[in-house]
Every structure is written in structure tokens, then in C-alpha cells.
Structure 1
Amino acid sequence: MSWLRSFYDRLIFPRPVLVLLLFGALLLIASLRLDQFRLDASAESLVLEDDRSLEQYREVNRRFTTSDDFLVVTYTPDQELFSNEGLALLASLRDELAALENVSSTNSILNVPLLHSPDLTLDTVNSEIKTIDEDDVTPDTAKKALLNNPLYPNLLISEDARTTAIQVNLPTPERYFELLRERNELRDKVQSGQASAEEQQRLETVSQAFIEFTEAQGEERDRTIKRVRGILDSYRDRAEIYLGGVPMIVADMIRFIQNDLSTFGVGVLIFLLLTLAIIFRQWRWVLVPLLCCSFTVWLVIGYLSWAQWPVTVISSNFVSLLLIMTLSLTIHLIVRYREFQHDDPEAESRDTLRHTLLAMIKPCFYMAITTIVAFGSLTFSGIRPVIDFGWMMTIGLTVAFLITFIIFPALLALLPPPVDDRVRSNRIPFTDWFARFTEHYGKTVLVGSAILAVLCVIGLNRLTVENSFIDYFKSSTEIHQGMITIDDRLGGTTPLDVVITDEKPPESEAGGDPFASDCDPFVEDCEGAEEYRDTWFTYQKMDRLGKVHDYLDSLPETGKVMSIDTTLDILAQVNGGEPLNALELAFVPSAVPDDLKDILLTPYISEEHDQARFSIRILETSPDLRRQALLDRIRTHLTEEMGFEDDQVKLTGMTVMYNNMLQSLFDSQIKTIGIVFLAIMVMFLILFRSIKLALIGMAPNLIAAGSVLGLMGWLGIPLDMMTITVAAITVGIAVDDTIHYIHRFKTEFEKDGDYLATMHRCHRSIGQAMFFTSLTIITGFSILVLSNFIPTIYFGLFTGFAMFMALVGALTLLPRLIVLVKPFGAEL
């Protein structure tokens, strides 16, 4: 420690002003690009690192000319919808929305083809199409036409004809896809090692251009959504109106996160400061931790801004966690400083500070390293935002440690605190009670811990990784109410696409004569005739697709299902209610008017790529929704029951991408948590150089982490993209208390060799610091329950519970095991 003593005596203590000035310059540099700090809730932030689901999703949208880039306005007027006044009010709202700058078009019951006329046939469909906008259609006729059409009910209009929807299209500019395509191609070249230096430089340029373009588009879309909400507000006195759609969900998630980062970040800090003021009752012990916490967050955010490293939904709580870790370090230093000050009140403040730093740097370093290991487990998840979160916390913990042991002493050298006569009287009987309880009821502690461990294991087995977007928002929020309305009346929220690729016949068979047999495939139901037709529109293929449609529609988790079968049902209505025969099927592509193909054909059939698409809306409000089980059930039925090859069936969409992310989180975090504990066990062996101490130190960590995850299992709270990180957080928190207690126990035991006496002294000293840290953090994070974002609420509650369980384990089970096993040798 001589070099460390020299470091403080020569650099920090004599020149605290210079140290702070140099650090201030560093803060200034970090702040130069704070305007580049950004949040990202895009689709790319919810997919695996090597997952191609996003590209498949975009590819399907391009092939079938579809998109999820639209808002949904649900509209339930106070008066009758299908009346002249009701339709006029709807038209007024639609026109105001359509007039917005970034809205390309709108779809509603006003402009969709009614396909209902006595003179309408397959031959006259082009001339007899009517709309409410363009033709003199009575409200009753329009209502009947819309409800009898297979396409519109539960999509644009509810079955009771009380609620309708306006689809507000927000197209993504082609420039976005050009930049995305070029960036991905260059990135693949770089990753494969085939890129030239010029291409590597081009990748940086294109990536920067893509980020800037995406940010500009995001800001523009946010402004559009804000204007849409403004228009809707002016109609709410005459109708029940909600806003939904994927862009709105993304925008609201970002808004909630930004609110939590700012409002609750400040709120947490205020709560922490009030608690510090009540505990220590000296303004220095409030100011110094405040500055250290603020500096840590400032530097890390500055670094993320310089590196253009976006914060996502998953990593948005890094600010709160950095506050926890930095505050924990500073509180331990404060308590130790006050102890030295009380033991030798006549000592120079610089000597007291030196003793504090030299005594605490080792356990704090151990704490930082093991916590980094815990958060480092996140880098193995395979999900880029989770990996980034792990690295953010690794960088943040490093910064927190350096600030605590450089800036903290520099500040105290300038502001030496006076001797506080209340140090002894400040002792809280809480930790003394734990010491007495552990001494007299040691068996109860062990039996209680064993029972708790069993309950944890049972709870862990009850954990699920399913969740619905609706569960992220309080029932009082518009997004929650809108999802319920869309699910209940308009066919579901989250998109899922099932794409089936046609099976190509062998070359020898494909070149055969389709009329070689006595069966004419154009006019008859010919067994096997479809293998000679290079088209989807044959009787056999359409019959098979119809069975797929019926199966998907029968699933309880699915709402509206649309496919070519929906189009055939519409054409059957036009055909007088009779299903199309084989010959009529063959001429469907030419029979459908050009202006209806984008509605009836191209969204469901891609002849160019030999693919058929089924568009499904998943009911987010379904209590039995289990995404992985649903996707497995669909694939199994299509391949095993209906005879499709596995490579013919492709499942894509937001449902698939979100599910892939959840399942990967489960695999990487829950199933590998044993590896995380093994890594920490190795760290303990290195730190304590005793297998007994390593095993003893693991016990409270296992109990703390198991308690949080087990509680989630018992309460039925599913793991999702935010709550999954609670495991790593809990391990990091529990490890801190364990290291500090064992290190202090070892130091105190050398004084008299009495385990019980040492335990009581540790509870009165380091136990106080652990108690103050836990109390401060639990109190501070309690404010998060006021958030509108449910994951933030869970984060606050489970962080507080983790702190409590870590504290209880470190003050009961840990000392009981130390007294029982005697890892420091026999008593003197």
C-alpha cells in the first residue's frame, strides 16, 4: 500500500484544487456532445445480435407491399355511427388527419370499396365498385355492405357497428431502406473480413448517415403523433377515441423512458439526499455523495454521447444503477471515516481520510470487480441492447470506483468535516438486534434459510418469459385503453405473418403436358394437377391455403386473420355466393381490377417469389397468450398435420422478433446463472484465498438472487426485456454486502480471535454502513412506483427487495455460517 499512500500524499491531498480543475475540464469535454445522447426503441433494439427475423420481416413487407408503419385511431361516436351526422363527423376527423404533412394516406370505412351492389358480378366488378366518399350510398346500405364483407369486420369496423378505425399511414422514405441496405451489406463484408479499407471507412460514413436519418425521422414522426393527438383531443367531447399502432407504441415507450430518466432520476436523487441528510446530519455528507453520483452519471452519459451509443428500453435504468453503486461506495467511505474520527477525534482530518481510503480501497475494489463480473454476464445474451447494457454498467462501475477514490478525497481535502459527536449515538439498534438474533437463534437462521431456498427453487420453476406489450402500461394510460379497444373490437394488436413458399416440382415433371391426363386442371378438381401449374391460383392450392386460414382463425390467441382466402370469400359474394370453380380461380389475377389489387391480391400472394402470406393480429389482452407455445403450435400443425416442409413455412413479424428476444434472454440469463455464480465463486477464491470463505460468501448471494426471481415466479410476474436483468442486478448488490462484511470480519477477528465478539463489532461498524446503504437505496427507489411504465415500477420494487434480502442475508446467514465453520481458524 506504500505506492497508494504516496499517490494520495503527493498528488491528491496537496493539490485538491488542481485535481478538481482537471476533472472539471474532463466533465466539460464530456458535455460537449450531450445533445447526441439518444434513446432507441426501434425494432432493431428488440432483436438478437445475429437474428435475421428483422430482415425477413422487412423482406416480407416489401414483397407483399405491406407495412406496420401506421397509426390506428379507434372511433366510437356518442351518436349513431351509420347516420348522416355520424359519417360526416368521421369524415371531418379523417380529413384533418389526412391533411397532416407526414401522412401519406388514410384508410377508413369512408374510402374502402363496399363491393355491394345488385348489379355486381365478376364481369362488372370494375364498374360497380362504390364507396361512401364517392357515391350516394345510404348509411344503412353502407353498414350492411361493410358488415357482410369478410375483409372489414374486426379490422375497420366492429361487429356491432359501433366502433370504426381510421388507419393513418406514415410511410418510411425510400432513403431509409437505401441506407439500411448499404449499411448491412458493408457490415457483412467487414464481419467476414472481406472489406477493404475504403469499404470500412464507407461503413462508418453510412452508419453515421443512417443514425442521423433515423433520428430525424423519429423526431418527425414524434411531431406527427403529437399533432394527431391534438386533432383527436378536439373530437373527444363527441366520441370515445383512442390512438394505437406500432409507431405510437414505440413513441410512448420512449416518452415514458425519457420521463423516467429525467423526472424519476431527479426524484430518486432527491430521495437519496433527504435520506443521507437524516442519517448523517452534516451537509458535507450530502454534498459530497451528490457530487460523486452526479459526476459518475455525467461522465458515462458524456461517453455514450461521444460514442453515439444509444440507450434502449433495456438499458434505460443504467442511470439509477450507477446512482446505487456510486452511493454505496461513498456511504461505506463516510461510515468508515466517521468511525476513525470517533476513535481518534484529535487526529488531523488528512490522517483520518488517509486511513479511511487505505482501509476501504481493497474491499471496494473487490466489490467493483465482482459486480462487474455479475453485469458482465449480460454480454453473453446475444441481444445487442442487453450486451450494450452489460458494457455500460462495466464502464460505469469503473468510473464510479475511480471517482470515489479520487474525487471523494479531493473534495474532503477541501472541505474537511468536523468531528461529529453523534457518531456513537447515531448507532441504530437494528443491526445490534440482528447480531443478537444470529447468536441466540442460529439454528432458526439456518432452517429459515433452507426453507427460503426451497421456496426459491419452486418459484424459479414457475417463472415464464412471456409478456404482452399491454402489461407495460398502467390501465389509466391511453396506450393501455387503446390496446383493449383494438383487441376487443378491431381484431388484435401485434402483427404476425405466416408465409408459405410454394413447393417447386422437379424439372422433369414441370415440363410435362398438363393435359396429358383426362382431367382438365382448369375446370376440374384434378388430383396432383397443381404440380403442373406455375401459379397459386389452382383449386388444390387454394383449398390447401383455405385450410391454413381456417386453422389460424380458430386459435384463441389470434384476432383478425387475412389471406387470399379472404379475397376468395369476397369474390364468392360477388359471384352470387357461389365459391369460385377451378376455371374462375385461374382468372382471378386478371378479374380483380388494378385499383383493388393492392387490397385484395398483392398483400397475400407474391407470384414472383412463389409465396402466400397470412396476416394475423395477435390478441395482446388474451390471458392465455404464450408466444413461444403459439408459434411452435402453428409450425407443428402446418408441417406435421398439413404436410408442408419446414423450409416452406416462415413465421415473421413483431411477434416473432419480440419472442426471439425473450427466449434468448431466458436461455442466456436464467439457464446460465449458474455460470455467473461459478465466476463469482472463482472471484471469491482469488479474493479470500479460502474455499470455505468462498462457499460461505456464495450462500447469501444465492438466497438474495433466488428470492427475487422466486418471488416473481410465485407472483406470476413474467420475465421480460427489463425484469430479466434483475438477476444480474441482485447478484451485484448482494456481492457488495458479502465482500464488505467478510473483509471487515477478517480485520476485526485479528484483534481478539473471538468469533461472536467479532460478529457484534462488525454489525456495529460495517453493518451500519450496509444498513445505511440499503435504507437509502430502498427509500430512493420507492419513487419509481409512480411511473406509468410498469417495467420501471417492477425495477424499483425488485431493486428495493433485492437490497433488503441482501442486507438480511449478510447480517444473519453470512455471520452464522462464519461462526459455525470458523474459516479464519480456531478461536484464541
Structure 2
Amino acid sequence: MLSAFKTCYENLVTRRPKLVLLFVALITLGAALGLPRFKLDASADSLTLEADEALDYYREIAERYASGDFLVVTYRYKDGDLFSDQSLATLRELRDELAQVDGVSSVQSILDVPLLYSPKLAISDVADGIRTLSTPGTDKKLARQEFLSSPIYRDLILSPDGQTTAVLVNLELDSRGIELVRERDALRRKRSEEGLSAGEAARLEEVGRTYLQHRTSREQASRARVETVRGIIDGYRDEAELFLGGVSMITADMVSFIKSDLVVFGTGILIFIVATLLIIFRQLRWVLLPLSTCVIAAVTMLGLLSWLDWRLTVISANFVALLLIITLAITIHLAVRYRELAARNPEWTREELALAVVRFMARPCLYTALTTIVAFVSLVASGIRPVIDFGWMMTIGVTLALALSFLIIPSALMLLSKRTDGSGEDSAGGKESDSAFTLLFSRFAERRRAVVLGVSLLAAVASAVGISQLKVENRFIDYFDDSTEIYQGMLVIDRRLGGTVTLDIILDQPEREESAFAGEEDPFAADAGAEEDPFATGDPFAAGEDPFGGGGEAVEDSYWFTVAGLSKIEQLHDFLEQQPEIGKVQSLATLYKVARDLNDGPLNDFELAVARTSLPEQINDVLVDPYLSIEHNQARITLRAMETDPNLHREELINRIYRYAEDEMGVAPENIHQTGLLVLYNNMLQSLFKSQILTLGAVFVGILLMFLVLFRSLWLAVIALVPNMLAACVVLGGMGLAGIPLDMMTITIAAITVGIGVDHAIHYLYRFRAEFAKDGDYVATMHRSHATIGRAMFYTAITIIAGFSILALSKFVPSIYFGLLTALAMTAALLGSLTLLPLLLLLIKPLPAPEGPGKPQETEERAAEAVS
């Protein structure tokens, strides 16, 4: 089977090269036709764990409390006091324009919120009518003081200096999207745990497709809405300092970052490829052939993703740069080998040269591709959707790059005239100065063995120390350049307006608690032993009829609106406010504090029940409905963490809250839950350590097995793996020592380093074996290998290093870290392959002595035949 495939391939390449190139062109054209369908994704789904049950709970709570997405506009008047007539008139115009934007359900500002202390009302007066800042005759000084000191608005709607306010733009809740995604995720979980019936599998496919279409339309509408809001804001920048914040804005900007990165990285790497090839080969054909192969691979892969509706995220957007670099590395190895053979054998025909290149390079290139694929497949273990997609995309991309390289390069060489301008070239077909440069490494490894081993050992020890200090805790704000509006807006909201990252604490009613009047005398309670009940015709509270509420919900179901329930909420609320990394906290305790103050003393359960049913809608909307679910016997505390606080440790904060509620308050573990973006983001971060271990473990095991198959020697397999393990440890240790945390981007670096770095080891060891068969001299073999394959390794490594360094141009900080750290890792891998790897071969001598000397060319041809 394998022989038949080889024969078919060789016949196509050597006898039908035009047909092969036509086939490639048609495939590329077909893929390119799908490019208009290409989509990007920066939704919340692309930043969470694949099967995080907390995500489903988050969506459930969001739907229950109608807490949809929102945008925040910070407003700071430039020419005077924020509460001046002109400033408030400008703010009113801005608010009214924002309220007209499609998809906006309401807009809340200092102009609209109810005022209870301007002047202070008695609790009995609250139901008579609520004053706002827009109400004629409102005392602005009192209103300003209320915004600064009231437990309702303090650190929420007005900055401590009284000059910056927030306009909250509430967006319509996507109930349909929540319904679809929860059904999809439930079916996915069942598929992984129990399996699905045929009907359920069909339903999963249908609901997945429907949700994707729905999300696409919603994302397009969201981006258009953000642009509309930005346009409105721009019209007021002459009068006020304005920043836009919110998840929708971040999502829209991240899509822009992806697009920018694709253009910048793609263009930058293509320019670099041309420059590199001109410097290395100085021949037009060796610029056009690798460049064409790289472009065709990228276009074909992007087209395939478009047809499959497989979307790029901030993470997987880097796959284009990686694919170009990996494709270029394969073509450079083919080009260098062809030039070597052409220089040594000027009498060979084009067919002989093309076949010799393919036969000698097929196995090492195949195994380098497979090891790279193993590295990327291992990313599936991360459990993080964009990382998983990145792994599969690169797996397909590397396979495609290998296939296209071995189709395009040999076929094109069959159509081009043979060129053997070898002036100034050594026996390897390269400039003598190039060979001399790589020979510096082999001479150093031979003469400075102790230095090589000592530096390697020192690097290993330093890496171990650094890895022990590696952390996952990081600040989301640090993901963005300080010139971006995301960074500036988050900074203003975080420091002046009570924090940015949301956390919800959900309290379920304890089972032992009874009615709303439990624990104190109910003026309407009947004696349990009485035969006659003056209210026997129907207890208004038992039957769900509230004489004060016009038929509202049953009072006895509102445990959290009793003295006992509110006291528990207040205790936890006060504890949260004392935590240094927490900004604004909101709950029913806020209303409880205000009610006590307005009443000039505590309220009993009956007074609370009456007050709840008589509150005006404005108060309910702000102080009750977002924090109480009577139907589910549940209370909600919302808070915002200070993202800019250097002491923010999400996992520790979450556990601290749980410990206090359970140990100090006696709340049963099953009755308290935490959710929100802070929890989801923390879950993703905490999975990174486990993912890193699983990823590296899978990579090392998979590559070791491949080395055993390729070299049939445990010693050679271990020798090949050591320099690359060291390179991966160097980059992880360097991150730990430099205080750079693991995140969605940097988690992939170690696996990619090993996967791509071992390419050097495979090519070097494969050439070393072929050269060793000539004379059995380890030292001479090392120098010859450095002069030949060493040069190709150097070229490809420099290309990879410089290519990754281009990622430093991104505005997305993790991409910058990814590019620079991967460049560092590849530098370490190259140095290891050119110094430590050959030194280990000299010291261990793992190869059997050759049977007898033979002519170099014959030995090489036999090696090539063995490859085939």
C-alpha cells in the first residue's frame, strides 16, 4: 500500500507536474471563494471553559434577575461643576440620545435615580412620590451629598471628587440566546456523560446551528450598537471627557484587534519571508516558491475555516502567523537540500534531483510535522474553547502545510530549468561564510564541553526555581495596551466608580426558616387551638392576598425580606464592603439601611412586609427587584471587584467569602453560591495549571514515542528530547522569575516550543546518522552536520524567532507575550540543538559503528533509498 502510494506520488510529481499544480490551484480557488464567509468571534463563549457548569448557572441567574449586558459611559464635564445647569443639560441630551439606540432597554444616570435624602424623607412619605435630580426645585447640593454618602449610590454613580459620573446603558436581555445555549450545553454534557439518542444527537446539531446563527446576528447588532454609541459620544467630546466601557465594547474592540493582528502579522511576516529568502538564497525562484507555498497554505486554510464556519478568536488568530512560519520552515529545508544535491551532483537531471530531495526529506519532515501536531493536539486538554480551537486549527494547518510543500516545490522544480550556479558555494550548496558561522557552534561544543553542560545545568536549576514561582493570577485590564479605550475606560470606572469585574453571591432560603413572621408576634396570626378565626374567610397573607399590595406576591414567601433574612444579608454585605479589593456592594441590605435611617429606628417584620408592598415602582426597580427572587426564595448580593488592585487574587477572594459565610454566619454550603464574570474568569485561570501539566505531559510522551519509532533507540530519543525540554522549562521558568502569569495565550508556549523545537532535533539527528555512516567519527560527523543541516536549522529558527517577534506589534498584551516568549523559547531550542544536542551525542555515543567505509555519495544515496 505504502509502496503503491509512493509510486503514484512520484509519477504525479515527475511526470504530471502541471496537473499537480493545477489541482493545487483549483483547491486554493475553491477555498478562497469561501473567504467572504469568514467570521471572527470574541464572545463570552470564546473566553470560558468548555464544560464549566458555573457558566450555565451564570446564565440562569442572569435570566432570573434580568441582568442583561450593559454599557457604561463615564462623563466628566470639562468647563465647570458637574452639577451646573449647562453640565446637566449636556448630560440630559447625551442620556436621551443613548436611550434611542436600538437594543437599549433603559438608561440610568444621576438625573433619573430616586432621591431619598434631598431632603430626607420619612418612610411614610416614600410612597407619595419620588424626587429626582430632574425634578424642579431639587436642591443640587443635597443631591450631590446624597450621591456621595448614601449607601445606595456611594461609590456607584459619582466619583469621590464629585466630578465624574456614570451613565448606565442597559441592553435588552437576550433570553432567546440564553435558552438556546443552555439547551446546547445540557445536551453536550449528557453526550459526554451518558451518550445521546439519535433524536437527541439531531437536536444537538440543530440547536447548535440555530444558536450559532442567532449569536452571529446578535454580535453584528452589538458591534453596530457600540459604533453608534461611540458616534454619539464623539459628538460630546468638546464639552466633556468621556469613556466607554462594558463587555459589549470589549468584545467589539477585541474583534477589531483580531482583524488588525491578522493584517499586521500576515503582512509583516510575508515581508519578512521575502527579505529572509532573498538574504539566504539570493535567487528569485527560492523566494517565489516558498512564498507561494506559504500564501497558498494560508489562503486554503482560511477558506476551509470559512466554509466550515469555524471562527477565529483572539487566541486562534495567531494560527495564521504560525502556519506561515511552519510552512516556510518546511520549504527552507527542501530548498537547502535541493541546493546541496545540485551543487554536489551537477550532472543529475531535474527528475533525479526532485526525487532525491523528496526521498531524503520525506521522513524527517513527516516526523517533524507529526511532533508539531502532537504539540497542538495536546492543547485540547486545556478545556478552554479558544485554546481547543487553536489546537485543532493548527493540527489541520500543519498537515496542509506538509502536503502542499511536497506537492508544490517538487512539481515546480520539474518545470523550472536546472540552475547550478555554484560560484562561491561549498559542497553543501551554501556560502562558505554561512557554513563557517554554524561551525562556530560545533567547535564551541567540542572545545567547551564543561561550559555547555554547566550553562545547561544552571539554566535547568534557574528554570525549576522560576517554575515554582509561576502563577495564574493576573489582571484583565493588563491584557490591553494603555492607549486603548478598553484600558482607559476600565481604569476610570475601577478607580472612580466602584470597580469593574462583577461578582454575584446567591443566598438560598434555609429550609428550617418558616414564614415571614417567624420568631415574633404576628398581629394577624390566629391561635392554633382556636375554633373560630375572625379572618377564617381567608387569611390575606396565607392565600397570597396582600391587602397592602393589591394582589401581590405572598408575604410569607419573602423570608429574605424579614428582620432575620435582612440581618444575614446585611452581615455578609458589611463583610464584603470591608474587603480592600472590593468596590461597590449592592443588596437588599442597602434598602434595609436606608429604611432604618428614614424610620429613625429599626423596623419589625410586619412593617417590612407593608413597606415592601407599598414601595413605588422606581424604588422597586432600583433596590428590590435586582436582589430578590420571591419565586425561588433567593436573595442576591452583587459587587464589583477592583481590577486595578495589585492585591486582587480571585481564587483567594472567592474562598474567603465562602469561609466567612459558612464559618462565621452559619450558612450551609448548599445555600450559598457565587457567580459572575469574576468566577468564570477565575475558573478558566485555575484550570491553566492543570492544563499546563496535562499539555506538557502529553507532548513529551507523544514525542518520545515518535522518536523511538523514528530512531529505534531509547538513547537517541532521550538525547533528542532533552534540549527541547530544557527550552520549554527555560521559558516557563523565565515567566515565573519575571512575574509573568499564565493566561490563555502563554499556556500554549511550552507545548509549541517543544512541538516546533524538536523539528531541529529530528533533522539534525537524521543527518547525523547519515553522516556518521561515512566514517564513524563522531567529531567529524558533528562538524559536517553543522555545515549542512545546521545551516538549514539556523535559517528556519531565525525565521521563526523573527516571525514570532512581529506579534509584539499587537495591542493585545497576551499576544505580545506570546510572540516574545515563543521567540525566546525558540532561541533556547536552537542553541540547545546546536550545542547541547551534539555534545550529548559525543559523550553518550549512541550510534553503532558503521559496518565499513563507503563512498560518501553512495552512502548518501543508500540513506535516501532507506528513507523511501
TM-score (norm: length of structure 2): 0.90
After TM superposition, the structure 1 = structure 2 runs for residues 67-466 of structure 1, keeping only pairs within 5 Å, are: 67=68, 69-78=69-78, 79-118=80-119, 120-184=121-185, 187=188, 197-416=198-417, 418-421=419-422, 422-424=424-426, 425=431, 427-428=433-434, 429-466=436-473
Task: Classify 1:333/1:619 alpha carbon distance in 2 versus 1 (closer, same or farther; 3 Å).
Answer: same
2:711 to 676, 681, 688: 688
Please tell me whether the aligned partners of residues 330 and 404 of structure 1 are also in contact (alpha carbons under 8 angstroms). yes
Please tell me whether the aligned partners of residues 516 and 562 of structure 2 are also in contact (alpha carbons under 8 angstroms). no
Stretch of structure 1 that moved more, 106-115 or 289-298: 289-298
After TM superposition, the structure 1 = structure 2 runs for residues 27-106 of structure 1, keeping only pairs within 5 Å, are: 27-67=28-68, 69-78=69-78, 79-106=80-107
Please tell me whether the aligned partners of residues 377 and 669 of structure 1 are also in contact (alpha carbons under 8 angstroms). no
SS at match of 2:152: coil
State how far apart, in whole Å, the 1-side matches of 2:114 and 2:557 are.
Answer: 31
State how far apart, in whole Å, the 2-side matches of 1:320 and 1:273 are.
Answer: 15
Residue 629 (1) aligns with residue 636 (2): no
Residue 812 (1) aligns with residue 819 (2): no
Indicate the residue corresponding to 2:597 in structure 1: 573
Shift of 1:660: 0.9
Please tell me whether the aligned partners of residues 276 and 776 of structure 1 are also in contact (alpha carbons under 8 angstroms). no
Shift of 1:371: 1.4
SS at match of 1:812: helix
Please tell me whether the aligned partners of residues 249 and 479 of structure 1 are also in contact (alpha carbons under 8 angstroms). yes
Structure 1: stretches of 5+ with no match in the other structure: 524-531
Instruction: Note the alpha carbon deviations across 1:395-445, whole angstroms, 9 max, x for none.
Output: 111111111111221122223452242543254233111111001001110
State how far apart, in whole Å, the 2-side matches of 1:758 and 1:512 are.
Answer: 88
SS at match of 1:559: strand
Residue identity in the other structure for 1:553: E
State how far apart, in whole Å, the 2-side matches of 1:514 and 1:275 are.
Answer: 81
Task: Classify 1:815/1:188 alpha carbon distance in 2 versus 1 (closer, same or farther; 3 Å).
Answer: closer
Indicate the residue corresponding to 1:559 in structure 2: 583
Instruction: Note the alpha carbon deviations across 1:119-174, whole angstroms, 9 max, x for none.
Output: 72222212231112343324323212322321222211112211001111221444
Residue 481 (1) aligns with residue 504 (2): no
State how far apart, in whole Å, the 1-side matches of 2:168 and 2:667 are.
Answer: 34
State how far apart, in whole Å, the 2-side matches of 1:193 and 1:520 are.
Answer: 52
Instruction: Note the alpha carbon deviations across 1:733-761, whole angstroms, 9 max, x for none.
Output: 21111111111101100011100000001
State how far apart, in whole Å, the 2-side matches of 1:5 and 1:389 are.
Answer: 32
Instruction: Note the alpha carbon deviations across 1:90-132, whole angstroms, 9 max, x for none.
Output: 1122222222233222111011111234472222212231112
Indicate the residue corresponding to 1:601 in structure 2: 624
Residue identity in the other structure for 2:807: L
Task: Classify 1:377/1:183 alpha carbon distance in 2 versus 1 (closer, same or farther; 3 Å).
Answer: closer
Residue identity in the other structure for 1:777: I
Instruction: Note the alpha carbon deviations across 1:371-409, whole angstroms, 9 max, x for none.
Output: 111222111222333222222111111111111111221
Instruction: Note the alpha carbon deviations across 1:188-217, whole angstroms, 9 max, x for none.
Output: 666666755455444433322221221111
Please tell me whether the aligned partners of residues 516 and 559 of structure 2 are also in contact (alpha carbons under 8 angstroms). no
Task: Classify 1:272/1:588 alpha carbon distance in 2 versus 1 (closer, same or farther; 3 Å).
Answer: farther
Residue identity in the other structure for 2:824: F
State how far apart, in whole Å, the 2-side matches of 1:522 and 1:721 are.
Answer: 60
Task: Classify 1:672/1:176 alpha carbon distance in 2 versus 1 (closer, same or farther; 3 Å).
Answer: closer
Q: Which runs of 4+ in 1 moved over 4 A?
A: 1-5, 184-199, 510-515
Residue 749 (1) aligns with residue 781 (2): no
State how far apart, in whole Å, the 1-side matches of 2:190 and 2:715 are.
Answer: 51
SS at match of 1:72: strand
Please tell me whether the aligned partners of residues 116 and 129 of structure 1 are also in contact (alpha carbons under 8 angstroms). no
Shift of 1:186: 5.2
Please tell me whether the aligned partners of residues 65 and 598 of structure 1 are also in contact (alpha carbons under 8 angstroms). no
Please tell me whether the aligned partners of residues 787 and 793 of structure 1 are also in contact (alpha carbons under 8 angstroms). yes
Task: Classify 1:590/1:8 alpha carbon distance in 2 versus 1 (closer, same or farther; 3 Å).
Answer: closer
Shift of 1:534: 5.9
Shift of 1:48: 2.0
Please tell me whether the aligned partners of residues 487 and 620 of structure 1 are also in contact (alpha carbons under 8 angstroms). yes
State how far apart, in whole Å, the 2-side matches of 1:791 and 1:83 are.
Answer: 43
SS at match of 1:39: coil
Bigger Rg over Cα: 2
SS at match of 1:679: helix
SS at match of 2:71: strand
Residue 824 (1) aligns with residue 825 (2): no
Please tell me whether the aligned partners of residues 5 and 354 of structure 1 are also in contact (alpha carbons under 8 angstroms). no
Matched length: 813
Task: Classify 1:423/1:631 alpha carbon distance in 2 versus 1 (closer, same or farther; 3 Å).
Answer: farther
Stretch of structure 1 that moved more, 478-487 or 564-573: 564-573
Task: Classify 1:521/1:42 alpha carbon distance in 2 versus 1 (closer, same or farther; 3 Å).
Answer: farther
Task: Classify 1:656/1:514 alpha carbon distance in 2 versus 1 (closer, same or farther; 3 Å).
Answer: closer
SS at match of 1:13: helix
Task: Classify 1:287/1:466 alpha carbon distance in 2 versus 1 (closer, same or farther; 3 Å).
Answer: same
Task: Classify 1:672/1:22 alpha carbon distance in 2 versus 1 (closer, same or farther; 3 Å).
Answer: closer
1:549 to 573, 579, 584: 573
Please tell me whether the aligned partners of residues 801 and 823 of structure 2 are also in contact (alpha carbons under 8 angstroms). yes
State how far apart, in whole Å, the 2-side matches of 1:511 and 1:591 are.
Answer: 20
1:720 to 743, 746, 752: 743
Task: Classify 1:185/1:704 alpha carbon distance in 2 versus 1 (closer, same or farther; 3 Å).
Answer: closer
Instruction: Note the alpha carbon deviations across 1:41-87, whole angstroms, 9 max, x for none.
Output: 212222222211121111112222322x1111111111210111111
Please tell me whether the aligned partners of residues 757 and 829 of structure 2 are also in contact (alpha carbons under 8 angstroms). yes
SS at match of 2:169: strand
Residue 535 (1) aligns with residue 542 (2): no
Shift of 1:520: 2.8
Indicate the residue corresponding to 1:529 in structure 2: none
After TM superposition, the structure 1 = structure 2 runs for residues 741-820 of structure 1, keeping only pairs within 5 Å, are: 741-820=764-843
Task: Classify 1:672/1:399 alpha carbon distance in 2 versus 1 (closer, same or farther; 3 Å).
Answer: closer
Stretch of structure 1 that moved more, 98-107 or 352-361: 98-107
Please tell me whether the aligned partners of residues 381 and 694 of structure 2 are also in contact (alpha carbons under 8 angstroms). no
Residue identity in the other structure for 2:692: Q
Sequence identity, in percent?
Answer: 49
Indicate the residue corresponding to 1:527 in structure 2: none
TM-score (norm: length of structure 1): 0.94
Please tell me whether the aligned partners of residues 343 and 420 of structure 2 are also in contact (alpha carbons under 8 angstroms). yes
State how far apart, in whole Å, the 1-side matches of 2:517 and 2:589 are.
Answer: 29
State how far apart, in whole Å, the 1-side matches of 2:395 and 2:413 are.
Answer: 27
Structure 2: stretches of 5+ with no match in the other structure: 525-555, 853-868
State how far apart, in whole Å, the 2-side matches of 1:415 and 1:795 are.
Answer: 39
Residue 647 (1) aligns with residue 670 (2): yes
Stretch of structure 1 that moved more, 776-785 or 723-732: 776-785
SS at match of 1:719: coil
SS at match of 1:101: coil
Indicate the residue corresponding to 2:528 in structure 1: none
State how far apart, in whole Å, the 1-side matches of 2:365 and 2:779 are.
Answer: 25
Stretch of structure 1 that moved more, 655-664 or 566-575: 566-575
State how far apart, in whole Å, the 2-side matches of 1:708 and 1:643 are.
Answer: 46
State how far apart, in whole Å, the 2-side matches of 1:100 and 1:581 are.
Answer: 44
Stretch of structure 1 that moved more, 296-305 or 430-439: 296-305
Residue identity in the other structure for 1:450: L
Shift of 1:446: 0.7
State how far apart, in whole Å, the 2-side matches of 1:713 and 1:478 are.
Answer: 29
Stretch of structure 1 that moved more, 615-624 or 148-157: 148-157
Please tell me whether the aligned partners of residues 114 and 131 of structure 2 are also in contact (alpha carbons under 8 angstroms). yes
